[in-house]
Amino acid sequence: MLNAIDRQRLAGFDAFDLHGALTRLDDERFVARVWQHDPDLWKPGDAAHAKVINNRLGWLTVPETMEACLDDIVGFADSVRRDGIKHAVLMGMGGSSLCPIVLRETFGVRAGYPELIVLDSTSPAAVTAVEKKIDIKATLFIDASKSGSTLESHSFAEYFLAKATAAFGSSAEAAKRFACITDPGTKLATAGRERGYRRVFENPQDIGGRYSALSYFGLVPGAVAGVDVAGLLARALRMAQACAAGVMADRHPAATLGAALAQAAFHGGRDKVTFLASPQVATIGMWLEQLIAESTGKEGKGLIPIADEPPGPPGAYGDDRSFVSIKCGDDSAHEALCRSLEEAGHPVTRIHLRDPLDVAEEFFRWEFATATAGALFGIDAFDEPNVQESKDNTNRILAGGVKADPSRIAPTDEKALAEHVGQLRRGDYLALQAFIMPTQARTHVVQRARAALRDATNAATTFGYGPRFLHSTGQLHKGGPNTGVFVQLVGTEGGSVAIPGAPFDFGTLIAAQSLGDLQSLRDHGRRVISIDLGDDIDAGLAAFAKTVDKIVPHLAPAS
């Protein structure tokens, strides 16, 4: 059986640069010092950063910790199934929601187990869409928040707790349909116990949200949905052993990967890490996007992850990219694409998953690889200094009243959009940000426009739904290199959906979040334009896509 390093192959990277980086890592005893939790690997002699780093390395041993909790996790899931629960709604953001999304899309709905639904959009239409899909009395609601005070997940929980209380006619009975996952001692943990939640899971507190996939945050919703969490942990432990303290860097699957990507960015200008994944495991790109962007996008530096971009011919890509192939099983089309990229001179990392359970190996591999890249960049891979800005702006706007931004343009404004996209220069990327309810049809429209803009400009492109991306790539957008050209898509849908106990509703909240992020981008001197899709989101998106089709013949490759 091939081991973790043998199922990873690097092609097209500068061998001299990579050898130098790996030698440096060995000379500094990097791998061993990671396992020793040495903060000086990232910020030497910096007490403030050391305090953060020392409380963020629990992901190294969490597979062992969780293996000891397996009976409890599986027992909880079995009790939920015995009670006839049909749906499980995971309410979270960023690190609390992205792994559950990967598990849901990778393993699907298992017969006899609840269907897992992830709610991470504050669009009132998204909230009511979940409500319409479920039977409140046959649903388990899981409030997931590391801090225990995440505004979005708290709002979701209050909304559905009120609905469940009305359905059962008793707050005590309603609480039995709720569980929460949070750090020890948070307000959420206290409230969950006081309200009589079915279960309060207290996660190891020395794990950051984006590094929490193999903790309760990923495993509890996975187990409830019938995922083989014991199998996931077994694979994760296998990768952890391959990344052990005594492994030399050139035989270390994660240190080698992190060093290769960092060196390609440093010396080749290839800072756009573009993921190509087999369909069954495609959503792992969303999880990787947050991990890499939030960990490395700071101090004007960073790797820029490109996830879910529609594939194109080699000539559609600029020379600022490296590619990562994550292939599951036999995938001949995927293999042909990777071969054409290698032949065109692009660096390609190939990772072969034997079956879907190997995603757990990737969770650990990439956490270690990202920590390695962060050390080589000289940044703290475990803080998120710019994430709070948009939150603060949102709170300020909510307190002062939401007023539409006067600079917003119509989706039919060809001149303004062409001029904005025309600002792309060599090495820039184009970020599309949609503060609307996510749907497959809308994603398809934006992806088509995304591919057209990429093909016309050769610029790397990203796409994210807000407010989800604020807890993911938002850090990179403000703290990373000023190479992003941002297109914000906003609209109004879903009517007035009240949040119990809050002085604002969901519509007001998502409007404030879009305005708050717009202000934060401007404060950092980012190039950003906001497009008002209006009250009919789908018609507005169609108009935007038509405008893109009209302007792309007149766009030139970024230079």
**pLDDT tens across 189-215, in order?**
999 999 999 999 999 999 999 999 999
The angle formed by the CA atoms of residues 34, 35 and 37, to the nearest 5 degrees, is: 65
Could you tell me if 259 and 348 lie in one domain? Answer: yes
Residue 41 in any domain: the answer is: no
Could you tell me if 220 and 258 lie in one domain? Answer: no
Could you tell me if 333 and 398 lie in one domain? Answer: no
Residue 100 in any domain: the answer is: yes
Could you tell me if 332 and 436 lie in one domain? Answer: no
* 188-218 CB burial, b ≥16 within 10 A, e <16: bbebbeebebbbbbbbbebbbbbbbbbbbbb
Is 80 exceeded by the pLDDT of residue 333?
no
Q: What is the Cα 14 distance to its own chain's centre?
A: 29
- Alpha helices by DSSP H, listed for 344-491, are 359-377, 387-400, 414-421, 440-457, 474-479
* pLDDT for res 332: 78
Residue 52 in any domain: the answer is: no
Taking the C-alpha atoms of residue 172 and residue 165, their distance in angstroms, rounded to an integer, is 8
Could you tell me if 399 and 285 lie in one domain? Answer: no
* pLDDT for res 420: 98
Could you tell me if 537 and 495 lie in one domain? Answer: yes
Nearest Cα residue to 548 out of 351, 401, 416: 416
By the 8 A CB rule, do 320 and 269 touch?
yes
Q: How much of the chain, in percent, has pLDDT values that exceed 90?
A: 94
Could you tell me if 400 and 547 lie in one domain? Answer: yes
Could you tell me if 19 and 103 lie in one domain? Answer: no
Residue 49 in any domain: the answer is: no
Residue 361 in any domain: the answer is: no
CATH number at residue 175: 3.40.50.10490
* pLDDT for res 558: 84
* pLDDT for res 331: 78
Residue 244 in any domain: the answer is: no
Q: How many domains does the chain have?
A: 3
* pLDDT for res 404: 84
* pLDDT for res 1: 45
Count other C-beta atoms under 10 Å from residue 233's C-beta. Answer: 24
Could you tell me if 408 and 513 lie in one domain? Answer: yes
Could you tell me if 98 and 162 lie in one domain? Answer: yes
pLDDT digits (tens, 9 = 90+) for 56-112: 999 999 999 999 999 999 999 999 999 999 999 999 999 999 999 999 999 999 999
* 59-95 CB burial, b ≥16 within 10 A, e <16: bbebbebbbebeeebbebbeebeeeebebbbbbbbbb
Instruction: For the chain, give percent helix, strand, coil, nearest 5.
Output: 55, 15, 35
**Of the candidates 346, 377, 408, which is a domain's last residue?**
377
Residue 171 in any domain: the answer is: yes
Is 60 exceeded by the pLDDT of residue 133?
yes
Could you tell me if 404 and 497 lie in one domain? Answer: yes
Q: Using the 8-state DSSP alphabet, how is residue 250 labeled?
A: G
Q: Tokens in use for 317?
A: 């890509």
Query: Cα dihedral sign for 394, 400, 406, 407?
Result: negative
pLDDT digits (tens, 9 = 90+) for 152-189: 999 999 999 999 999 999 999 999 999 999 999 999 99
Q: What is the β-pairing status of strands 87-91 and 115-119?
A: parallel
Q: Three-class SS of residue 488?
A: strand
Could you tell me if 417 and 534 lie in one domain? Answer: yes
Q: Is 342 exposed, middle or buried (0-12, 13-18, 19+ CB in 10 A)?
A: middle
Residues 359-379: what's their mean pLDDT? 98
* pLDDT for res 237: 97
* pLDDT for res 388: 86
**Of the candidates 190, 208, 234, which is a domain's last residue?**
234
Q: Tokens in use for 425?
A: 């220069």
* pLDDT for res 330: 82
Is 60 exceeded by the pLDDT of residue 384?
yes
- The range of the structural domain enclosing residue 15 comes to 8-33+249-354+371-377
Taking the C-alpha atoms of residue 279 and residue 458, their distance in angstroms, rounded to an integer, is 24
* pLDDT for res 3: 66
**Of the candidates 234, 264, 284, which is a domain's last residue?**
234
Residue 168 in any domain: the answer is: yes
By the 8 A CB rule, do 234 and 314 touch?
no
Is 80 exceeded by the pLDDT of residue 2?
no
